[in-house]
Amino acid sequence: MLAASLDVLSIGPPRLTAGLNQMRRLDLAAYRRVFWDVPDLTTDDLVTMAAQVGLRGRGGAAFPLADKIAAVQEAARRRRRRPMVVVNGVESDPGSAKDRMLLLRSPYLVLAGALAAAQALRARLILVGTADALVARSVSEAAAADPVLARLVRVMEVPDRFVSGESGALISAMNGRQPLPPSRRTHASHRGLGARPTLLCNAETFAQLAVLGMLGPEGYATTGDPAEPGTVLLTVTGAVARAAVVEVPSGWRLGDVLGMCGAQAEEGVLVGGYHGGWLAGAAAYEAPASRAGLDAFGGTLGQGAVFVLGQENCSLGELARAAAYLAKESSGRCGACRRSLLSLARSLAALADGTGGGEALDAAMREALALRGAVGQRGHGTCSHPDGVARFVLSALAVFGGDLAWHVFRYGCGRPAGRVLPLPSAPGEARLAIDWGRCRGHGLCAHIVPELVEQDSQGYPVMLDMPVPPWLERKAWRAVEMCPQLALRLVPADPASLAALSAGPADSHGVGQRQVLAIERGQDMGGAPDLAVSEDWITDITSVRAIPPPD
């Protein structure tokens, strides 16, 4: 989603979005005209002020900011190491654009909050992480225009994946490792960037800290729900006349926000992004835009992403598409990511296309319930991705009950899956495809990559319709190379990306040039003779024959 293309609106006097109704971007001079200076504050000042207004992180986890600052201060004192400050601007949920909007259009407000924290903690550097080249340029230019910021601020671009915005994944990327959540739970406040104590918050949280410093706790609490004072930023997209980032006092009725954006007749409203929850239309209009208010309605504020699904689209088709995307975007480091999410995606795909019936529904419910709350349990990792996906799926199955009956008993609702949920693809992605004129149903592919291929009752492969996840690329290539009929191929997930695949860099981790060669081989070579393939032969060849992975 392009943050620069969204309107910026506000209900009530704007705070974080002040000045953006008159100027496209606040440069340094404009920022100083619109906002007050943030006074010099000590760490104790920041902790006291943040605790007084109950300020929490706005990146999804909602961790109390006062506790986070105090933890960094204590770790720095105990370890005698100067801390670091990290602004998480990755915002990897495709439905959210508020952080990118702030960093593109009002970067000095975010940097003012980060600078206040850095000076109070005596931090060495402020690092801004982002997956957007335009955001990186905006922040770099903003920092270069101010001598103090130019000395402290650095910008780092990380890969644009769904899990890249997780705090552990961002720290890992900044430390020169893979942008994936760590296999063991770590706390950046104790050991983060460069193994130093690190204060890591998303862009909106630092902007809120700057406003808190300008107004003081009493001034900050003059708007919003008294239990959660201040404003929140919501990214409203989907079946709306005006897609926008909206600043609204906390606790304000969500229906007013949807009305301002011209929401059309809705099948359901997704609140909190792909780790959030679906609300039925009536509930969505009455729910307050606050953490406690949305929790009471079965939703979650999360990153503040609000997506309106129109009635002309198949809700279960969209759910299946999103589940496949989330399975593909996982880190692949634990059983939940490597197996359970893919199994859930398969069940939802069968439910959506009408072939799975009640069995597919039961399987999807069972798999989602098993994933819920599995963080840290044996066989599961430490990130919240599987738990967030479970919340997303279970809430959808509860809200889309009318569609469920059609898909379980009547093989579908007749409405198209209009591909309306924002699900970006990565360059170089490929999916497995079968040449049915050659396939003889030997089943070798299902033995090699069972995560993506199953056999039907007659032994023929049934493919999971999704791009090959990065951690399954080697197995997918092995299945292609070992198919005795040369019937299995890797084809571009997006046909328009064929040229990009052939031009991929030599050291790319994607399938690149070998993928194009496989496509050409599948198109040009004649039909291969049928082979006598036994189960013993499959077992032998899968254990002995080694196919080198792509370079």
Assess if residue 17 is contained within a domain. no
Higher pLDDT, 420 or 34: 34
Task: Look up the CATH number of the domain holding residue 440.
Answer: 3.30.70.20
Span of 106-110, 377-381, 480-484, 523-527 with lowest mean pLDDT: 523-527
* The predicted structure's pLDDT at residue 222: 97
* The predicted structure's pLDDT at residue 547: 39
Identify whether residues 155 and 244 lie together within a single domain: no
Structure tokens at 394: 């279970």
Spatial CB neighbours of 158, under 8 Å, sequence gap ≥ 6:
90, 129, 130, 131, 164, 170, 173, 174, 179
pTM > 0.85: yes or no: yes
* The predicted structure's pLDDT at residue 232: 97
**DSSP states of 2-47:** -GGGSEEEESSS-STTTTTTT-SS--HHHHHHHSPPPPP--HHHHH
Identify whether residues 150 and 86 lie together within a single domain: yes
Assess if residue 361 is contained within a domain. yes
Identify whether residues 33 and 162 lie together within a single domain: yes
* The predicted structure's pLDDT at residue 178: 87
Helix, strand or coil, per DSSP, at residue 332:
coil
Identify whether residues 43 and 120 lie together within a single domain: yes
Q: How many domains does the chain have?
A: 4
Helix, strand or coil, per DSSP, at residue 136:
helix
Spatial CB neighbours of 414, under 8 Å, sequence gap ≥ 6:
406
Averaged pLDDT for residues 473-494: 92
pLDDT band at 397 (very low <50, low <70, confident <90, very high): very high
pLDDT reading at 372 higher than 60: yes
* The predicted structure's pLDDT at residue 485: 92
* The predicted structure's pLDDT at residue 381: 55
pLDDT band at 495 (very low <50, low <70, confident <90, very high): low
pLDDT reading at 518 higher than 60: no
Task: Look up the CATH number of the domain holding residue 351.
Answer: 1.20.1440.230
* The predicted structure's pLDDT at residue 282: 86
Query: What percent of the chain is modeled with pLDDT above 90?
Result: 67
Which residue among 409, 444, 460 closes a domain?
Answer: 409
- Name the strands in the sheet holding 153-157, side by side, starting at the edge strand that comes first in the sequence: 153-157, 126-130, 84-88, 198-202
Assess if residue 423 is contained within a domain. no
Task: Look up the CATH number of the domain holding residue 255.
Answer: 3.10.20.600
Domain that holds residue 378: 315-409
Assess if residue 418 is contained within a domain. no
Identify whether residues 257 and 324 lie together within a single domain: no
Identify whether residues 179 and 206 lie together within a single domain: yes
**What does each C-alpha distance from 537 to 237, 440, 473, 485 come to in angstroms?**
53, 15, 24, 15
Partners of 235 in beta bridges: 245, 305
Assess if residue 417 is contained within a domain. no
Distance between CA atoms of residues 276 and 388, nearest Å: 7
Partners of 157 in beta bridges: 130
* The predicted structure's pLDDT at residue 373: 67
- How many angstroms from the chain centroid is the CA of residue 366? 24
Identify whether residues 262 and 321 lie together within a single domain: no
Task: Look up the CATH number of the domain holding residue 195.
Answer: 3.40.50.11540
Asked if 362 and 350 count as a contact pair (C-beta separation under 8 A), the reply is: no
Asked if 421 and 442 count as a contact pair (C-beta separation under 8 A), the reply is: no
Q: If residue 463 lies in a helix (H) or strand (E), which one and from where to where?
A: strand 461-463
pLDDT band at 505 (very low <50, low <70, confident <90, very high): very low
Query: What percent of the chain is modeled with pLDDT above 70?
Result: 87
Which residue among 198, 220, 242 closes a domain?
Answer: 220
Distance between CA atoms of residues 50 and 42, nearest Å: 12
Identify whether residues 232 and 341 lie together within a single domain: no
Nearest to 459 by CA among 473, 438, 441: 441
- Strand 305-310 relative to strand 231-238: parallel, antiparallel, unpaired? parallel
Identify whether residues 94 and 201 lie together within a single domain: yes
Dump pLDDT digits (tens) for 208-228: 999 999 999 999 999 999 999
The one-character DSSP state at 260 is: H
Q: Based on C-alpha coordinates, what's the Rg of the chain?
A: 25
Averaged pLDDT for residues 23-34: 96
Instruction: State the amino acid at position 471 in one-letter form.
Output: W
Nearest to 526 by CA among 479, 474, 485: 485
pLDDT band at 530 (very low <50, low <70, confident <90, very high): very low
Higher pLDDT, 518 or 463: 463
* The predicted structure's pLDDT at residue 186: 79
Assess if residue 37 is contained within a domain. yes
Assess if residue 142 is contained within a domain. yes
* The predicted structure's pLDDT at residue 546: 38
Identify whether residues 360 and 462 lie together within a single domain: no
* The predicted structure's pLDDT at residue 412: 79
Distance between CA atoms of residues 438 and 484, nearest Å: 10
Identify whether residues 399 and 469 lie together within a single domain: no
Dump pLDDT digits (tens) for 121-178: 999 999 999 999 999 999 999 999 999 999 999 999 998 889 888 888 999 999 999 8
Q: If residue 266 lies in a helix (H) or strand (E), which one and from where to where?
A: strand 266-271
Assess if residue 347 is contained within a domain. yes
* The predicted structure's pLDDT at residue 5: 85
Which residue among 249, 284, 310 closes a domain?
Answer: 310
Distance between CA atoms of residues 8 and 6, nearest Å: 6
Distance between CA atoms of residues 229 and 161, nearest Å: 32
Helices and strands: H and E segment counts in the chain: 23, 16
pLDDT band at 512 (very low <50, low <70, confident <90, very high): very low
* The predicted structure's pLDDT at residue 380: 56
Identify whether residues 89 and 142 lie together within a single domain: yes
Distance between CA atoms of residues 391 and 298, nearest Å: 10
Place of tokens 């040449």: 435
* The predicted structure's pLDDT at residue 510: 36
